[in-house]
Amino acid sequence: MDVITIVISLFASVISGMALFLLQRYLKQKDKSDEVRESALARENILILKSINAMGKLTYANAIAIRDGKHNGQMHDAMKEYEEINTELYDYLLEQNAHK
């Protein structure tokens, strides 16, 4: 009777240990994927804010050009910044679609 109890206890311990091991492995993998997702969302938010800022600068330069009837260095700089951000955002979107 003692041997059966020991075997059952040992078997239950092994099953419990395996379940905890598998649960721990699953949670670590989930944490890794969550970190990658959070990093991508942070980068996306940064690019969106840069894009909004570039559009604001371009709008401001356009307003000055319309008001004064001529364009100045602000228009050129704003257009250059907008193109850079637009290219960076496009590359990011391509990269995200390639991963899915």
57 residue type, one letter: K
Give the model's confidence band at 100: pLDDT under 50 very low, under 70 low, under 90 confident, else very high. low
Q: Does the pLDDT of residue 18 top 90, yes or no?
A: yes
Contact 78, 50 (CB under 8 A): no
* Fold (CATH) for 2-99: Four Helix Bundle (Hemerythrin (Met), subunit A) (1.20.120)
Q: What is the pLDDT of residues 43-78, one digit of tens each?
A: 989 999 999 999 998 898 888 888 888 777 778 888
Give the model's confidence band at 12: pLDDT under 50 very low, under 70 low, under 90 confident, else very high. very high
The DSSP output letter for 62 is: H
| Geometric angle at alpha carbon 83, from 78 and 89, rounded to 5° | 125
Q: What span, in angstroms and rounded, lies between the C-alpha atoms of 72 and 32? A: 49
Q: What span, in angstroms and rounded, lies between the C-alpha atoms of 61 and 73? A: 9
Sole residue written with tokens 């979107």: 93
pLDDT at 99: 75
The gap from C-alpha 44 to its chain's centroid, in whole angstroms, comes to 6
Q: Where are the domains of the chain?
A: 2-99
Q: Which of 11-15, 24-28, 33-37, 67-71 has the lowest mean pLDDT?
A: 67-71
Phi, psi of 80 (to 5 degrees): -65, -45
- What is the average pLDDT across 17-44? 93
- What is the average pLDDT across 8-23? 93
